[in-house]
Structures are given as structure tokens and as C-alpha cells.
Amino acid sequence: MIALKENKITVSEYLRIREQVGWRPLLQDQAAQALDHSLYVVGAYDGEWLVGMGRIVGDGAVICYVQDLIVVPEYQKQKIGSMVLETLMAYVEHIRKNGSQMMLCLMCAKGRESFYEKHGFIARPTQELGPGMIQYLRDEKMERQE
């Protein structure tokens, strides 16, 4: 049975789950800072084993972002991603000030759009909203390795 735990993910668990899905490695202190500076972190555990996770980052007032929504491959297609995402969304709704509007944004992996659309997210660009954009900041040495 999958159990959700709030704000309990360790640095080693975070690094391991990222590796399990083939994401780029992080430095240990970089991972620690990312977890420490998150507004909210939820982990999905099968016993003591972290099998899914997600984070909320942002200012907690005007804008929040879903970050690092991960489910390890052998646990995908079991609604764990939906459980984690719905928990993250409920957290943001909980901190949203009455009478205010807050943006909840994310950048999804190519091919995962329909998953997020089922949870009420809209793809950009639209007639009103331009495309999302990104820039990677990294050492020159890292660029030569790719």
C-alpha cells in the first residue's frame, strides 16, 4: 500500500529517485538546498521505499510551481502520480489567500501533457498566453560533455 508523507524526503532519496527516471544528476548540496527551499514536498512510499514524489516551489502568494513530479517506472500507471499531484494542488489551494488568485504552473515532459490536462492544467501557448520558456545556466565544461 502506498502512503504519502509530507516534507520527509531525504537528500539521498531525492538523488536516487531522480536517477531512477534518468534525470540529470545534481550535486549533493544542490539537492539539499532544493529540498530545503521547497514550500512543500510530498513523497509516495511503498513501505520504506520512495516510489514517487513532487515538490511545490515559488513565493506562496502569487505563483507556485509543481516541480519534480516523479514516479519510478515500475510504479507508473498505478495512479501514484495523480495522488501526488492532487496533494500538491490541495496544498497550494490551502495557502492561497481568500479572495485572491494564484498561478500554479509547471513544465511537463514531452508526451505527458494529457496527464496534466486531466488535472485541469492548460497547455501553452494559447490565444492569451505565450509559450513557456527556459534557459539552462551551467559551467562551460558541462556544455562540452553534452
CATH of the domain at 104: 3.40.630.30
> Which residue, 63, 120, 54, is CA-closest to 96?
63
Any alpha helices (H) in 79-131, and if so which ranges?
Answer: 80-95, 113-117
User: Is residue 26 a contact partner of residue 48, using CB atoms and an 8 Å limit?
Assistant: no
User: pLDDT digit string (tens) for 68-93?
Assistant: 999 999 999 999 999 999 999 999 99
Residue 146 pLDDT exceeds 60: no
Residue-level pLDDT at 142: 62
Task: Give the C-alpha separation, 43 to 114, whole Å.
Answer: 22
Residue-level pLDDT at 140: 74
Residue 19 pLDDT exceeds 60: yes
User: Is residue 10 a contact partner of residue 4, using CB atoms and an 8 Å limit?
Assistant: no
Instruction: Give me the mean pLDDT over the 32-61 stretch.
Output: 98
pTM (2 d.p.): 0.92
Residue-level pLDDT at 27: 97
Residue 144 pLDDT exceeds 60: no
User: pLDDT digit string (tens) for 89-142?
Assistant: 999 999 999 999 999 999 998 899 999 999 999 999 999 999 989 898 888 766
* Res. 145 pLDDT band, cuts 50 70 90: low
Helix (H, G, I), strand (E, B) or coil at 144: helix
Residue-level pLDDT at 86: 98
List all residues 6 or more positions away from 35 whose beta carbon is below 8 Å from its beta carbon.
9, 11, 14, 41, 55
Residue 130 exposed, middle or buried by CB count within 10 Å (0-12, 13-18, 19+): exposed
Domain that holds residue 84: 2-145
Residue-level pLDDT at 143: 59
Q: Which residue has the cell 514516479?
A: 71
Q: Report how many domains make up the chain.
A: 1
